[in-house]
Amino acid sequence: MVDRTSRDLLALRLRQYVSGRIINDDLDDTMWEMGDDPGAVAVSEMAWQLYDDTLTHRATGRHHIDHEGRREISRWILFLDSDLEYEWPRYSFIGIDPFILSLITFGIAGLIHHRRWKRFVGAGPFEIWPFMHQEDLDRAIKDPRRLAGTQDSEQDPALKDQP
């Protein structure tokens, strides 16, 4: 189920956070407003890893998000802007560091976490997550919702006479 309201809110908050316009607490508060859209929930959980939730900050200075991180977040936003269903298996990106859990449970929690992670990333091409299919990502890149407009005269008859 695609919940357009949740997806639009999360996409907005991600753009605002990455650009340094809001603090991490504002992004974090958005997580609790995701409704039942599995894609919005998954992206909001993944976004939790972007910031230090023990202190309040913006994504600037030592907390800035590098070029590669911005590219990844842009892909998340492209997905949120789409009307595609989230096809990945359920996996929670929020949790205690697996290393710490392994220490407490003598390695058992680490093994369980590792198996779950392998099963999750084995479900599809994780390098394009949250998209499941390269064709869907390519289509979203070619025709982004937020930058939608006519590209050439074939799409808009009013531009046919334009050079």
pLDDT tens figures, 87-104: 999 877 676 565 665 566
Helix axes 38-47, 67-81, angle to 10 degrees: 160
CA distance 115 to 126: 16
Candidate from 27-36, 131-140, 144-153 with smallest mean pLDDT: 144-153
Within-domain flag for 107:
no
Identity of the highest mean pLDDT range in 31-45, 49-63, 76-90: 76-90
Q: How many domains does the chain have?
A: 1
Within-domain flag for 46:
yes
Task: Kindly report the average pLDDT of the chain as a whole number.
Answer: 82
- The pLDDT of residue 143 is 83
Within-domain flag for 118:
no
Within-domain flag for 113:
no
Answer yes or no: are the C-beta atoms of 114 and 102 closer than 8 Å. Answer: no
Q: pTM for the complete prediction?
A: 0.77
Helix axes 67-81, 134-142, angle to 10 degrees: 90
The percentage of residues in the chain with a pLDDT greater than 90, rounded to a whole number, is 55
Within-domain flag for 97:
no
CA distance 56 to 52: 8
Confidence of residue 6 (pLDDT cuts 50, 70, 90): very high
- Residue 36 sits in which domain range? 1-86
- Reply yes or no on whether the pLDDT at 156 is more than 50: no
Within-domain flag for 115:
no
Region 57-61: mean pLDDT is 92
Question: Which SS3 state, helix, strand or coil, does residue 60 take?
Answer: coil
Within-domain flag for 109:
no
DSSP at 155:
T
Provide the b/e sequence for 69-82 (b: ≥16 CB within 10 Å).
Answer: eeebbebbbbbbbb
pLDDT one-digit tens code per residue, 105-145: 566 666 666 788 788 888 899 999 999 999 999 999 998 77
Confidence of residue 83 (pLDDT cuts 50, 70, 90): very high
